Structure 1
Amino acid sequence: MNQIKSKLLLNQCQDYLVKLGLEFVAKKALYLTQGVNNTCFRVETQCGKILLLKHFDRENNFKVTLVEQYLAKESVVPNVIATSEKHKLIAYQFIESVEFNKPLHLQSLVTKLVVLHNLNSDYDYEEINLSALFSSYTELAEYKNYQATINLLLAKLKNYPYELGVCHNDLVLENLLFSDNDSWIIDFEYVGLNDVYFDLAALSSSLKLSEQEKSQLLSVYFEQSNISEEQLEKLNLYQKVYNLICYFWYLKHGFTRHALALKPFIND
């Protein structure tokens, strides 16, 4: 049965290669389990090239490839090899990610974020509304336990300047790739306008940065030698907001183990 499934998977990926207009012959194919809005495969070809094939399961999400293709030219996203709007397919260079190394990779990630946040392309960006985002989770039983906290956090954020940029909005660790000397960002399904601190806060959580490392993050990002208490306070507020959004998202999509792992941070 496993051999039959493997053959079917290989045939499916070969069909995708043809639809992308690529002349590669698939040698091995592996279904990758991550992703809610798309289906991904690691495909090794007979010529030795390894590709990541992604099929967008929701038709309207394919338009994010406009952003990704531009960012690939800036080395923010892995190299885009081919796309097919008709078939909602895209092929990237596959990167075997290594473990995150703070001294090595943090500077690289910040550089990539600066490029993203200052992006100017032909894409209809939606501006993220945090109040509306939280309202999409009100049906969850757990929501009422944190409603007062959410209202307080959003009220406090209004006291800080709003620094708008094109944000990824989903910088979980699974959406970051690392090599021995570089880093990349993937999966832009939630790209939109937001305060840049939201992405910086997401990095702080995903990479488990200390207070000192968060100060270094802001210093590199804003090219400032001295970071104010106000900047750190704003980052920490956004980090609490980000952790709560992740917590509710995990609960809503059935990732209970991930939600429980976040519980100590949202109760802090």
Structure 2
Amino acid sequence: MLNQCQDYLVKLELEFVANKALYLTQGVNNTCFRVETQCGKTLLLKHFDRENNFKVTLVEQHLAKESVVPNVIATSEKHKLIAYQFIESVEFNKSLHLQSLVAKLVVLHNLNSDYDYEEINLSTLFCSYTELAEYKNYQTTINQLLAKLKNYPYELGVCHNDLVRENLIFSNKTSWLIDFEYVALNDVYFDLAALCSSLALNLSDKKYLLACYFKLPSVSSQQLEKLDLYQQLYNLICYLWYLKHGFTSHAQALKPFIND
């Protein structure tokens, strides 16, 4: 493992010597290592395992300049490698981190870059799970939720679309977003709803989240209703994704939070 990480450093043209390496297991579409170097720097090295997903680093490099993503130290398109500053995450603190997360989302959702964004269609997205036996139990609910959302304005932005807890990093001062493999155009409420689920936000927290995001003194019942619809859909997407990819324990842990 240490030799592999040293090889990555060479390919990234970094003059660091790997002293210790730890394989990080949470990546699905990439291989990640936490690497301590002899000079005292700690890096996150990521190899993109799929041929076509390295281009998301264009978004990440832009967002790193806005402190939304940890500092990008080096990239190699030829070898599908990227090195970030490694940040040891602390426990989420609502009073400290929620406003920071909202500020980072605002930057992301208003992002302009040369990246060729696709636009997510939630109806099409759910079609990829129709072969699952469990899908039939929620098909009616999904259709009803999608139909209800048509009564609300569609607020398009560049969205992360995968804000699970593992893709949020917190320090003693601020927060960061990581892993942008699913970046695409979507209703910004999808990301906001994902935060609500991933951070187990209560009603008061949700009102604060929306008020901060939209810079309003208070939020409307319509905004809360739309957020709730997206949160239900987000939970269902995560549940079906876990089942499809064999993460049964994750799916079972999420099941009590699905409104059917």
TM-score by length of 1: 0.96
Alignment of 1:154-233 (within 5 A): 154-233=146-225
Counterpart-to-counterpart distance in 2, 1:161 and 1:134: 21
Q: Which runs of 4+ in 1 moved over 6 A?
A: none
The answer for the alignment partner of 2:140 in structure 1 is: 148
Q: Does 1:97 align with 2:89?
A: yes
Amino acid at match of 1:29: A
Asked if 1:76 is matched to 2:84, the reply is no
Taking the aligned partners of 1:233 and 1:214, their CA distance within structure 2 comes to 11
Measure, in 2, the Cα distance between the counterparts of 1:258 and 1:34. Answer: 12
Count of paired positions: 260
Match of 2:13 in 1: 21
Measure how far apart 1:265 and its partner are: 1.0
Residue matched to 1:4? none
Match of 2:53 in 1: 61
What one-letter code is carried by the residue in structure 1 that aligns with 2:165?
Answer: L
Answer yes or no: is the 8 Å Cα contact 2:232–2:259 preserved in 1.
no
CA distance in 1, matches of 2:121, 2:259: 23
Alignment partner of 1:51 is 2:43: yes
Equivalent of 1:85 in 54, 73, 77: 77
Residues 36-65 of structure 1: CA distance to partner in whole angstroms, max 9, x if unpaired? 100000000000000000000001000000
Secondary structure in structure 2 of the residue aligned to 1:146: helix
> Residue 60 of structure 1 aligns to a residue in which SS?
coil
For 1:267, the equivalent position in structure 2 comes to: 259
Aligned-partner Cα distance in 2 for 1:28–1:118: 38
Structure 2: tracts of 5 or more residues without a match: none
Sequence identity of aligned pairs in percent?
84
TM-score (norm 2): 0.99
The gaps in structure 1 that reach 5 residues or longer are: 1-8
Please give the alpha-carbon distance, in whole angstroms, between the structure 2 residues aligned to 1:220 and 1:229. Answer: 16
Per the alignment, residue 3 of structure 1 pairs with none
Secondary structure in 1 aligned to 2:43? strand
**CA shift for structure 1 position 76:** 0.1
Distance 1:32 1:261 in 2: 22
Q: In structure 2, what residue type is equivalent to 1:243?
A: N
